[in-house]
Structure formats: structure tokens, C-alpha cells
């Protein structure tokens, strides 16, 4: 699991775009590229988590369909 919804309180700040998160923030764990190095989890907004996982070309469509919302 690389991303999941959190129950953090509202008005958390997204650690990627620095915006306030209006909806449930997501915990996102960047993929591990370096062996023996555990990436830190970041608290991000919905837009950032979709963009990170699906890429900037596809994330809007996935957001509309709520792909991540159902699976994690
Ligand atoms: Zn963000």
C-alpha cells in the first residue's frame, strides 16, 4: 500500500503543494528507489496523491472516477 486515507483533522497542510487540505488528507509513501532506504510518509491532499500515483496526464480522469477512494 503506497497511499491511504487518514482520519487526520481538517485543515491539515499538504506537504507537497503546501495548500490546506479541504477534504480527508492522504498518507502517501513514495515508491522506494534506493535499497535499504525507507522513504518517509507524507501527508498530502487528494490532488497530489492522484498526481503522484497516476501522473500528471492521467490523474484528472482518475480523480473523477475516484479510483483511489474505493481501493485504499
Ligand atoms: Zn497537495
Instruction: State which residues have CB under 5 angstroms from ligand 1, the bound ion.
Output: 14, 16-17, 45, 48
Q: What per-residue confidence (pLDDT) applies to 67?
A: 85
Place of cell 528507489: 33
CA of 43 to the centre of ligand 1 (A): 9
Cα 60 to Cα 13: distance, rounded to the nearest angstrom: 21
Residue 10: per-residue pLDDT: 61
Residue-wise DSSP of 18-38: -PBP-S--EEE-PPP-STT--
pLDDT in tens, 16-50: 999 888 777 899 888 767 778 777 889 999 999 99
Integer CA distances (angstroms), 7 to 25, 33, 42, 61, 64, in order: 8, 28, 14, 25, 22
Please report the pLDDT score of residue 56 as a whole number.
Answer: 95
Mean pLDDT of 48-55: 93
Amino acid at each position: 500500500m503506497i497511499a491511504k486515507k487518514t482520519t487526520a483533522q481538517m485543515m491539515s497542510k499538504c506537504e507537497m503543494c503546501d495548500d490546506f487540505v479541504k477534504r480527508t488528507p492522504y498518507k502517501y509513501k513514495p515508491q522506494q528507489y534506493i535499497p535499504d532506504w525507507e522513504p518517509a510518509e507524507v501527508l498530502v491532499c487528494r490532488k497530489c496523491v492522484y498526481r503522484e500515483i497516476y501522473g500528471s496526464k492521467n490523474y484528472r480522469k482518475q480523480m473523477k472516477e475516484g479510483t483511489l477512494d474505493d481501493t485504499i
